[in-house]
Chain A
Amino acid sequence: NAGVMQNPRHLVRRRGQEARLRCSPMKGHSHVYWYRQLPEEGLKFMVYLQKENIIDESGMPKERFSAEFPKEGPSILRIQQVVRGDSAAYFCASSPPHPGQVNYGYTFGSGTRLTVV
């Protein structure tokens, strides 16, 4: 049973280009969470998605960032017109549906390290 798969592991983009980060959840998981970790900092929640639905995007920057989790295929975190400050590690986690409190551990992927040059 494969874990959470993220690709690419490393991504280099020039300023102004677009970055697309992919996250394939564990089999049977319909919820995905994206986190960002800036160099030497902690993990910051970005967005929480179910298939075809954004549940909570309170941590997403207002501009240039978007996320989707289509009915088929991986979840995509898209960063348009990247700037140097977007350089960070981006992690996703997945979980099964939970009607109430989170009573289990989330599985995280190994992350995508984005470098903007």
Chain B
Amino acid sequence: DAKTTQPNSMESNEEEPVHLPCNHSTISGTDYIHWYRQLPSQGPEYVIHGLTSNVNNRMASLAIAEDRKSSTLILHRATLRDAAVYYCMGSSNTGKLIFGQGTTLQVKP
């Protein structure tokens, strides 16, 4: 399982973009990079995943470094509802997801 490193916390202003970094230098060539978030008192919520190319969906964008040792989750316009703990992780063919400590994102009005 890939070891991931994320900053403990980040702050953003409402309506501004947020870039959440993640280092995953030990990820294998076939592991997908997944991002989940957990809002207070709720279960984890899938955000986005990718392998090599940058990915976009309605929630966010995922920028993956060319060497795949790091990635950045981009929230284009942060809202107060985006305040959560954001987790990045590598998948594996074992099926289980291994959560790290994540980044606590605070969004200021």
Report A's interface with B, CB cutoff 8 A. Answer: 4, 31, 33, 35, 42-45, 48, 55-56, 91, 93, 95, 98, 100-111
Contacts and interface: CB of A to CB of B under 8 A. Distances in A.
A106 B93 contact: no
20 contacts: A33-B97, A43-B44, A44-B99, A48-B94, A55-B95, A93-B43, A93-B97, A100-B93, A101-B31, A101-B92, A101-B93, A102-B34, A102-B49, A102-B91, A103-B32, A103-B49, A104-B49, A106-B97, A108-B43, A110-B43
Contact of A102 (B44, B87, B97): B97
Nearest to A91: B43
Nearest to A113: B41
B46 A106 contact: yes
A102 B95 contact: yes
Contacts of A4: 43
